[in-house]
Amino acid sequence: MQITDVTGPYREPREQVFSYDYSIQRASWPTPQAVRVKVAIPEELDVLRGKILGAIAGTPGQQLMISKFLSRHIADEKIRIAEADGMLAERRDTVVAPFTGPLVHLFPRLDAWADAQRETLRAEIKTLVVL
C-alpha cells in the first residue's frame, strides 16, 4: 500500500473528531481509493496527549499546533493499524472510525505505539512549538 495524498484535519459536524482524508494506491488497483481516518478528540487525542506530554501548558496557539501535530501522527498510525488488521484490503472507499466502541480492541496497539514513540514525539513537539 502506498499513500499518495493526505488532507486535513477537518472537524466533523456533530462528532468530537478530527478527520484526515488519505488517498491510497496498490500496484494491482487501477486508481487510488479514499480512506477517511477519524481521530476522537476526548478518547484518543486527549488520552495520548496526556500520555506523551503529561500536564503541559502553553498558549492557545501552541495547544492548537500540538493538537494538529499529534492528531496527524495518530491518524498515520491508525491507517497502519487498519492496514495490518486487513481493513484496507478491498478496493473501496473506507472510513477508519475512532478506536472506541466496536473498534476498542485496536486501541491498545495505538497506546503501545504512543509508549514506544513518546520521546521522539515529545522532542519533535518541543522543536515545533518551542516549549
Helix, strand or coil, per DSSP, at residue 45: helix
| Main-chain phi, psi angles of 59, to 5 degrees | -70, 165
* Between 112 and 28, the higher pLDDT residue: 112
| Main-chain phi, psi angles of 29, to 5 degrees | -95, 140
pLDDT tens digit sequence for 103-119 = 999 999 999 999 999 99
CB atoms within 10 A of CB 47: 16
Percent of the chain with pLDDT over 90: 69
Mean pLDDT value across residues 87-97: 88
Q: Cα angle at 3 between 123 and 87, to 5 degrees? A: 100
Strands 2-11 and 17-25: antiparallel
pTM here? 0.93
